[in-house]
């Protein structure tokens, strides 16, 4: 008479065990969903080969990565598109603004491809650093404007455009908000862009909409280096990339002071940590983008920003001139396709 009860008890135990195993499996997969987005592309590819479940999760992460290079750090997603080969995206750590190497060293990894992201154009999730501010002779921070609205250029001390290559904006000490029209370049990428792969040039940045002349496109973001460190890194990149169809994303810009007796040199390396500007290719004819130094009131360092130098059509590649100097005999081949192409990319001894 007790045998049916024993059988029923065994069935209950087996059912409970199956439920526990199912819950354990779900918890394990949820854990993987949190861990795998932190892996590099090579690590993710290796993990995907270990099991069917991991392969499916890896594919989902890869799809999300290819759908937005900015990891939700910009106002609009910036997708990768590739019909040239089997690379779905380019792996790098994203920052929408300049950062110091001491800050960058804390970010060896960055989550990319998770199911949801709390990062946004104005969130704390962005990898960025507060601008270094100017101080006066007494050691106090230089204040900005206290305007409630900066619509009137005559009243606001933060002047508008200073020249063809230099502009000024309200800064960190100003009383106005991010919506102020004198913070145009501080609001991130607000145009639809895409990153497209070419068999010869590699990845390139393209317009995904019409862009009118004079519009702000993006700034060149990355690690702000000393000249000594920039030289060391360029030598390292040259050694590692010799003979490969790769190149670094280290931008050197020199600003000559009005006196003509000195210049300020800025070294921004977007090779490991950068933003979409790292994909802008060179054009020997000057391209369709112009560079402008943008200074924010009370900020010590300017930022390098790109503006459209003419109307740009949808699906047109964005480009600018890397310079005219070609000092290296082994310079990389240029594929800009312009009628005045020199055949090699600009280069100098960093």
What CATH number does residue 162 fall under? 2.170.270.10
Asked if residue 100 and residue 54 are part of one domain, the reply reads no
Which tops the pLDDT comparison, 88 or 120? 88
Asked if residue 198 and residue 82 are part of one domain, the reply reads yes
Pick the range with the lowest mean pLDDT from 2-16, 34-48, 152-166, 303-317.
2-16
Is residue 99 included in any domain, yes or no?
A: yes
Is residue 319 included in any domain, yes or no?
A: yes
Asked if residue 223 and residue 198 are part of one domain, the reply reads yes
Q: Is the pLDDT of residue 215 over 90?
A: yes
Asked if residue 151 and residue 88 are part of one domain, the reply reads yes
pLDDT of residue 128: 47
Asked if residue 343 and residue 243 are part of one domain, the reply reads yes
The separation between the first and the last C-alpha atoms of the chain, rounded to the nearest angstrom, is: 91
pLDDT digits (tens, 9 = 90+) for 285-294: 999 999 999 9
Asked if residue 239 and residue 330 are part of one domain, the reply reads yes
Domain that holds residue 63: 30-67
Is residue 45 included in any domain, yes or no?
A: yes
Q: With residue 234 as reference, give the H or E element that holds it.
A: helix 227-241
Asked if residue 97 and residue 40 are part of one domain, the reply reads no
Quote the number of domains for the chain.
Answer: 2
* Cβ pair 190, 181 in contact under 8 A: no
pTM equals 0.84
Asked if residue 228 and residue 83 are part of one domain, the reply reads yes
Asked if residue 79 and residue 62 are part of one domain, the reply reads no
Chain position carrying tokens 């063809």 = 164
Is residue 98 included in any domain, yes or no?
A: yes
For the purposes of burial, counting CB atoms within 10 Å of the CB of 171, is it exposed (0-12), middle (13-18) or buried (19 or more)?
A: buried
E strands, the chain, where? Answer: 80-81, 93-94, 166-169, 193-198, 202-207, 216-219, 222-225, 250-256, 263-274, 281-282, 289-296, 303-308, 319-320
């Amino acid at each position: 008479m007790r045998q049916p009860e024993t059988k029923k008890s065994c069935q209950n135990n087996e059912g409970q065990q199956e439920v526990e195993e199912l819950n354990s499996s779900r918890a394990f997969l949820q854990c993987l969903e949190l861990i795998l987005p932190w892996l590099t592309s090579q690590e993710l590819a290796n993990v995907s080969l270990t099991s069917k479940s991991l392969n499916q999760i890896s594919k989902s992460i890869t799809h999300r990565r290819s759908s937005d290079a900015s990891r939700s750090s910009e106002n609009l997603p910036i997708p990768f598109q590739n019909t040239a080969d089997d690379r779905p995206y380019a792996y790098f750590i994203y920052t929408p603004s300049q950062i110091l190497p001491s800050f960058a060293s804390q970010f060896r990894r960055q989550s990319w491809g998770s199911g949801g992201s709390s990062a946004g154009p104005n969130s704390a999730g962005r990898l960025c650093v507060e601008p270094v501010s100017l101080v006066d002779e007494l050691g106090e921070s230089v204040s900005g404007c206290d305007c409630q609205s900066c619509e009137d250029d005559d009243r606001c001390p933060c002047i508008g455009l200073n020249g063809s290559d230099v502009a000024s904006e309200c800064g960190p000490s100003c009383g106005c908000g991010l919506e102020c029209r004198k913070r145009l370049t501080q609001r991130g990428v607000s145009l639809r862009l895409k990153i497209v792969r070419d068999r010869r040039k590699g990845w390139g940045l393209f317009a995904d909409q019409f862009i009118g002349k004079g519009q702000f496109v993006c700034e060149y973001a990355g690690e702000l280096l000393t000249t000594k460190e920039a030289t060391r890194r360029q030598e390292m990149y040259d050694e590692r990339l010799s003979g490969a169809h790769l190149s670094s994303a280290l931008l050197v810009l020199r600003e000559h002071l009005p006196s003509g007796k000195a210049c300020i040199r800025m070294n921004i390396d977007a090779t490991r940590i950068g933003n979409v500007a790292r994909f802008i290719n060179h054009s020997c004819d000057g391209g369709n983008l112009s560079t402008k130094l943008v200074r924010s009131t009370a900020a010590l360092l300017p930022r390098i920003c790109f503006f459209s130098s003419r109307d740009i059509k949808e699906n047109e590649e964005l480009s600018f001139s890397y310079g005219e100097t070609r000092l290296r005999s082994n310079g990389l081949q240029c594929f800009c396709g312009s009628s005045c192409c020199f055949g090699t990319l600009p280069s100098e001894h960093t």
